[in-house]
């Protein structure tokens, strides 16, 4: 199978030296990419700026901003069997980034933020979509409830939900997998590379089931 996997954060520029971002390390997405390679799948990895070793053997596409990641995902999605949207894409970006470094003053600085394009929703709304769509939901409260809302609202096949307080900046994760048909599975707390191996098996099996139904 061919997997498209996104990893890491995005950075939305305020000026040439400052940006809006989040705490995502990219460890989970890279672990999933490595697990897919270990299972002998083909992998396209679209990664934001990360400080982790990227898996060898994947076709790497760099994407610093949400717009760059949006374009990269859509350039590759239709050729893939499974799209795993693990990246923590910044939800908002400065409306008008400054061309030069903003100087510090004594007055409050008001920064107007506008929504970035929703990659997961755009994939879920594609006509004649053939790939399995997997989203991630990093939540701090009502984890399964919020993940279920995301699953339905963005027309995903699978949502992987986790506690952001546990997963961020950590080598471990614990996840709940929610399926479109109402089924749920849990993976207990473990190293992200171990969680990733189980996830790849689940995603591959789900894709096979979709193909079986179509035939």
Q: Which residues pair with 44 in a beta bridge?
A: 4, 59
Nearest to 144 by CA among 133, 124, 160, 158: 160
CB crowding 96-121: b at 16 or more within 10 Å, else e: ebeeeeeeeeeeeeeeeeeebebbbe
Which residue in the list 22, 62, 76, 146 is annotated as catalytic? 22
Q: How far apart are CA 157 and CA 151, in angstroms?
A: 7
Is 162 tagged catalytic?
Answer: no
Name the residues annotated as catalytic: 22
């Amino acid at each position: 199978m061919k997997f498209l996997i996104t990893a890491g954060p995005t950075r939305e520029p305020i000026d040439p030296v400052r940006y809006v971002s989040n705490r995502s390390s990219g460890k989970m997405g890279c672990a999933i990419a490595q697990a897919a390679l270990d299972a002998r799948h083909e992998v396209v990895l679209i990664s934001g700026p990360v400080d982790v070793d990227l898996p060898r053997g994947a076709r790497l596409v760099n994407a610093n901003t949400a717009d760059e990641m949006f374009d990269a995902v859509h350039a590759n999605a239709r050729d893939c069997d499974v799209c795993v949207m693990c990246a923590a894409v910044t939800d908002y970006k400065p409306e008008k980034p400054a061309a030069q470094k903003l100087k510090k003053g004594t007055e409050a600085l008001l920064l107007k933020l506008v929504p970035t394009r929703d990659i997961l929703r755009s994939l879920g709304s594609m006509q004649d979509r053939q790939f399995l769509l997997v989203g991630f939901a990093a939540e701090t409260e009502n984890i399964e409830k919020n993940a279920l809302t995301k699953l339905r609202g963005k027309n995903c096949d699978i949502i992987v939900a986790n506690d952001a307080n546990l997963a961020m900046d950590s080598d471990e994760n614990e996840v709940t997998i929610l399926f479109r048909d109402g089924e749920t599975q849990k993976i207990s707390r473990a190293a992200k590379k171990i969680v990733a191996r189980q996830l790849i098996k689940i995603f591959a099996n789900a894709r096979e089931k979709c193909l079986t139904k179509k035939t």
